Amino acid sequence: ISFTGKLLLKKDILNSLTNRLHLQHLWNKYPQILERRIEKPLFIMSLPRTGTTFLLSLLSQDPAARVPLQWEMLHPIPIQGYNGSREQDPRIALAEKYARQFYRFMPRVAKIHYMNPYGAGECRFLLQNSFVCKYYFTLLPLFTYNNWLDNCDARFAYKEYLKQLQLLDFTYSNQ
């Protein structure tokens, strides 16, 4: 088990736990968030390293598409007190820092997978907040977790995912 994997896993788990607490607080405080309709979502699913990130980036070029950006997905909870433009959101700097740290710990990944804080985000960032996500297994050989994951009902994770999309839509439309 690598030291780097342990560090990244700890950081990501703490981020996901923090996100879950804040998400639940927001949903309780603003139940109207969960009334938002997400019309015809598009999911891109495939095995890793088969071009899904490229396809997502390509589809995000459609001006009619509302694509959650990586900085939003890493930190779906708006920074308290920030009422400025979406382009100046302080969560962007947090996503830039995440990318720098990720590549510092895993420099070989930078050569095969560009992490663009301003680009389309991958579902895993929101799915991690439900802890029903294969990403953790990519950092460490968590066999018990992986076995549980293979046998769990993923509907919970996708319900949580929808609620997070509703929050992103709510936040975006209220700026």
3-state secondary structure of 120: strand
Using CA of residue 35, residue 24, residue 140, residue 74, what is the dihedral sign?
positive
Residues above pLDDT 70, as percent of the chain? 97
Q: How far is CA 146 from CA 1, 58, 124, 152, 166, in A?
A: 15, 31, 15, 10, 28
Q: Is residue 138 pLDDT above 80, yes or no? A: no
Per-residue pLDDT reduced to its tens digit, 101-137: 888 877 887 788 778 888 888 888 899 999 998 887 7
Q: Is residue 175 pLDDT above 70, yes or no? A: no
Confidence of residue 83 (pLDDT cuts 50, 70, 90): confident
- Mean residue pLDDT of the chain comes to 87
Q: What is the DSSP letter of 68?
A: P
Q: Helices marked H in 32-151 — which ranges?
A: 52-59, 70-74, 91-105, 107-112, 124-127, 135-139, 143-151
Using alpha carbons only, give the angle 134, 97, 2 rounded to the nearest 5 degrees: 45
Which residues contact residue 159 at a Cβ distance below 8 angstroms, ignoring those fewer than 6 apart?
Answer: none
Confidence of residue 40 (pLDDT cuts 50, 70, 90): confident
Q: What is the chain's Cα-based Rg?
A: 16
Specify the pTM.
0.87
